[in-house]
Amino acid sequence: MTSNRPYLLRALYDWILANNMTPYLLVDATVKGVNVPTRYVKGGKIVLNVVPSAAHNLELGNEKVSFNARFNGKQYQIIFPVKAVTAIYARENGKGLIFPDDDHDSESHQKTEPNPKQHLKVIK
C-alpha cells in the first residue's frame, strides 16, 4: 500500500487554510532529495511557511512537495520528498499532525518489529 502521508498532508493543509491560519511544515533536511536554503536549517530541520501568499506554485504531490519562496529577499526553488515532512501545523496555535519516523522509507531502514507506540500524533 502506498504511504498515506501525502493524503494526510493535503488534508491538514486544507484544514488549516479553511480556518484562516498559516500552515507551517517541519522538514527533515537530512533526508535525500531535500533542496532548501541550508542557512535556515537548524539541527537538521527547517520550518517552512506554506501559506499561498508565501509559497508560490505550491505542489503537494504524492512523491514531492515543491514551491517558490523568498528568504531574506532572495528567491529559492524549494523541493523535497513528502517523506521528509515531519509535521504540519498552524503557526497560530500549533495544532496539526506529527508524522511517525517509521514510515520514512522502509526500504532504506533496517527491518524492526512493529512498535505499537508509533502513531500519528494530534498536536493540541
The grid coordinates listed for 117 are: 507506540
18 binds a copy of itself (CB under 8 A): yes
Round the CA-based radius of gyration of the chain to a whole number and report it: 14
Report the alpha-carbon distance of residue 50 to residue 54 in Å, rounded.
Answer: 6
CB of 64 to a copy of itself, least distance (A): 17
Q: Mask 62-101, x = binds a copy of itself (CB under 8 A)? A: ----------------------------x--x-x-x--x-
- E-state strands within 1-124: 23-28, 45-49, 56-60, 64-71, 74-81, 85-90, 96-98, 121-123
Contact 48, 60 (CB under 8 A): no
- Residue 5 vs residues 76, 81, 93, 105: alpha-carbon distances, Å: 25, 11, 22, 12
CB of 87 to a copy of itself, least distance (A): 13
- Interacting residue with a copy of itself among 7, 44, 63, 77 (CB under 8 A): 7
Region of 6-14, 40-48, 74-82, 105-113 interacting with a copy of itself (CB under 8 A): 6-14
Which residues contact a copy of itself (rule: CB under 8 A)? Answer: 1-2, 4, 7-8, 10-12, 14-15, 18-19, 21, 90, 93, 95, 97, 100, 114, 118-122, 124
